Structure 1
Amino acid sequence: MGLLSNLDLVNECDNFPYYSDDPDKFKVLWNEYYHFYLEGCGACLGYMTSSVAEQMPLTPHWRLDKLNRRLIFQPRDDLGNPVTDLDARSRILAHYLQDVRERRIFGVLDGWRNELYPIYGPKRELLLSMERSATPLFGVVTYGVHMTGYVMTGEGMKIWAPRRALTKQTYPGMMDNTVAGGLSTGEKPFECLIRECEEEASLPADLVRAAARACGTLTYFHVRDARAGGETGLCQPECQYIYDLKMPPDVIPKPGDDEAIDFQLLTVDEVRQAMAEGRFKPNCAHLLLEFLVRHGFLTAENEPDYIEIVARFHRRLEFPTP
């Protein structure tokens, strides 16, 4: 395989098709998906592959509408009445997913995390909390924080890049952003960042609080391949809260858990080469392109696809967000 262009890297991450590119092709693909709904909420919450939707065990809490291609979560109490309480809905969902996991219907649930991710409605209200590893099955929007830690040296900027552990279910051995992690229900982005910095890179909270800078968000719609672990073709729309951290030369990130093998301090050119060779996890390469644009390394003068690339950093997602 040859080197990947910067636009190739964008297309690898933000790879769910755009209607405007080919309306006919988009409609055919879109009609192959089921839409995930919560009873009483009029908004589609995610796209599911037909194979996943049709394998979901049906209980009184679920209804498969093949005609309109919808899988509808309709939580009921012991008397068969609709459940409207958030916590009760989420408990019913948790028990159901635990049963699905024990029955080993979907490989993606082998990566069970015991972490709850939020699902929002059209009024920005929290509708459900769902086990993290199950979210790709339902194609719901997930949220995370990604931070690029860099050092200014006599040779110019250098970036700290970890390598993911070989034992990870998702993208084992690939390169990652300095710190990255998922946003759990009820967690604020900056507090999530502080926790992840400590857990993944052994970075002190006082340094992160003082020096980390919020740089907006990155949104994309990814369709998972075999590297993500479990079933392929699953929809993964995501919103990442982006941070930069200018680090003192004497602060060395170290793995604080089993997420990373090690950290490497790389020049910008070395990072770009690794990206072109496909060594970075797709969404991490996407985020690093945004970093390179903001810091003036990637410009309209040196990148022929500059306008397209920059536009793709902020995809409008077709599902409710907070």
Structure 2
Amino acid sequence: MAPKTNLQLIQECDNFPYYEDDSEFYERHMSNYHTFKVNGCNAVLGYIPNSIVEKFHWIENDWKVDSTARTVTLMAAPDAEPAVRNEIMTRLIAEAVRRETFEVLKGWRNEMYPIYAPGGKFLMEIERCASPLFGIITYGVHMTGYVEDEKEGMKLWVARRSKTKQTYPNMLDNTAAGGMSTGEHPYACAIREAAEEASIPAAVFEERARPVGVLTYFYVRDARAGGETGLLQPEIEYVYDIKLDASHTVKPCDSEVEDFRLWTVDEVRQSLKEGEWKPNCAVVILDFLIRHGILTPENEPDYLEIMARIHRRLPFPTVKFLK
């Protein structure tokens, strides 16, 4: 297999078409989806593949499916409380689980992901594993632990995902990462994930970690993600760097991580070329290399395209994490 370029790694993660590249193709492509809406909110909240719409057993009166306009609308009262919408969505997903309609629902997580209206107003929530069925924006955190070695320079703590993990088994991963549940803010989520996945105590994180930006992309799931292929996963990832002492050993704290290895930048870059990384984790690492002056406009021919693709403007409402 030919080595992967950095742009190919980005394209593997940000792989939903762009209107600007070919407007006619984009319009044809969009005919494969219904838009997901909530009564009383004018915004489109996600894209649902037509094939998924056809498999759901929509509960009469709770949902309106318009095959001509290609819309699916949750029909709670326009001024309904989030709990009312949650109850409607929960019944729909429970029926799909009972009928064993979708493979992706076999990865039940008992985690709830939020859905927001324009302005960041909380509309409702949905079980994590069901979120790709509706193509909503999901939020997460990713962090890269690194040390400055006197002899070998910068070295990164790289995780190997468990061989038995349902999604992307045995692929390489960031030092710690995870999805943000309803009501969670990025920093609190990052502290939790650092402790749960990499045994980094909260005190160490608070002293040594720093927020370094946010990445956005629009991912079309393949077989490695588990469940149905072609589901949409637009994501927003809050990114942190953690500079650790050479004496601090990062180690697994749960069953999701097989092991950690402390790799030089050259070793990390070689593993990227070999396609060993989970797609969105490769994006986080490339962003790290850019921010630390390792990938530059002078040595990366696709620098501008990469920068644009990892900060994609998504077509759905987003939230403001203000306290």
| TM-score, normalising length: structure 2 | 0.96
State which drifts further: 82-91 or 100-109.
82-91
For 2:302 and 2:88, locate their aligned partners in 1 and report how far apart those are by CA, in whole Å: 47
* Equivalent position of 1:67 in the other structure: 68
Paired amino acid for 1:103: R
| Counterpart mapping for 1:46-195 below 5 A | 46-60=46-60, 61-75=62-76, 84-154=80-150, 155-195=152-192
Q: Does the CA contact (< 8 Å) of 1:225 and 1:232 recur in 2?
A: yes
Paired amino acid for 2:121: E
2:19 aligned with 1:23: no
Paired amino acid for 2:313: R
Look up the SS of the partner of 2:178 in the other structure: strand
1:257-287, CA deviations, whole angstroms, 9 ceiling, x for partnerless residues? 1111000111111111111111000000011
Aligned-residue CA RMSD in angstroms? Answer: 1.1
1:154-181, CA deviations, whole angstroms, 9 ceiling, x for partnerless residues? 2100000111111111111110011000
1:204-253, CA deviations, whole angstroms, 9 ceiling, x for partnerless residues? 10000111100110000000011111000111000000000001111111
| TM-score, normalising length: structure 1 | 0.96
Paired amino acid for 1:243: Y
2:300 aligned with 1:299: no
* Equivalent position of 2:250 in the other structure: 253
For 1:95 and 1:47, locate their aligned partners in 2 and report how far apart those are by CA, in whole Å: 20
For 1:176 and 1:91, locate their aligned partners in 2 and report how far apart those are by CA, in whole Å: 35
For 1:272 and 1:293, locate their aligned partners in 2 and report how far apart those are by CA, in whole Å: 12
Paired amino acid for 2:285: L
Look up the SS of the partner of 1:44 in the other structure: strand
Q: Does the CA contact (< 8 Å) of 1:37 and 1:73 recur in 2?
A: yes
Paired amino acid for 2:43: A
1:10-48, CA deviations, whole angstroms, 9 ceiling, x for partnerless residues? 100100011111111111101211111111111110011
* Equivalent position of 1:78 in the other structure: none
Look up the SS of the partner of 1:42 in the other structure: strand
For 1:275 and 1:101, locate their aligned partners in 2 and report how far apart those are by CA, in whole Å: 37
Where does structure 1 lack aligned partners over 5 or more consecutive residues? 76-80
Q: Does the CA contact (< 8 Å) of 2:35 and 2:48 recur in 1?
A: yes
Task: Point out 4+ residue stretches in structure 1 off by more than 6 angstroms.
Answer: none
Where does structure 2 lack aligned partners over 5 or more consecutive residues? none
* Equivalent position of 2:42 in the other structure: 42
Q: Does the CA contact (< 8 Å) of 2:74 and 2:85 recur in 1?
A: no
1:125-172, CA deviations, whole angstroms, 9 ceiling, x for partnerless residues? 011111000010000000000000001102100000111111111111
Cα offset for 1:88?
2.6
Cα offset for 1:95?
3.1
Q: 2:225 is matched with which residue: 225, 228, 239?
A: 228
Cα offset for 1:91?
2.8
For 1:6 and 1:82, locate their aligned partners in 2 and report how far apart those are by CA, in whole Å: 46
Paired amino acid for 2:195: E
For 1:229 and 1:150, locate their aligned partners in 2 and report how far apart those are by CA, in whole Å: 30
Q: Does the CA contact (< 8 Å) of 1:83 and 1:89 recur in 2?
A: no
Cα offset for 1:312?
1.4
For 2:26 and 2:58, locate their aligned partners in 1 and report how far apart those are by CA, in whole Å: 29
Q: Does the CA contact (< 8 Å) of 2:13 and 2:217 recur in 1?
A: yes
For 2:234 and 2:34, locate their aligned partners in 1 and report how far apart those are by CA, in whole Å: 15
Paired amino acid for 1:213: R
For 2:143 and 2:91, locate their aligned partners in 1 and report how far apart those are by CA, in whole Å: 34
Paired amino acid for 1:100: A
How many pairs were matched up?
317
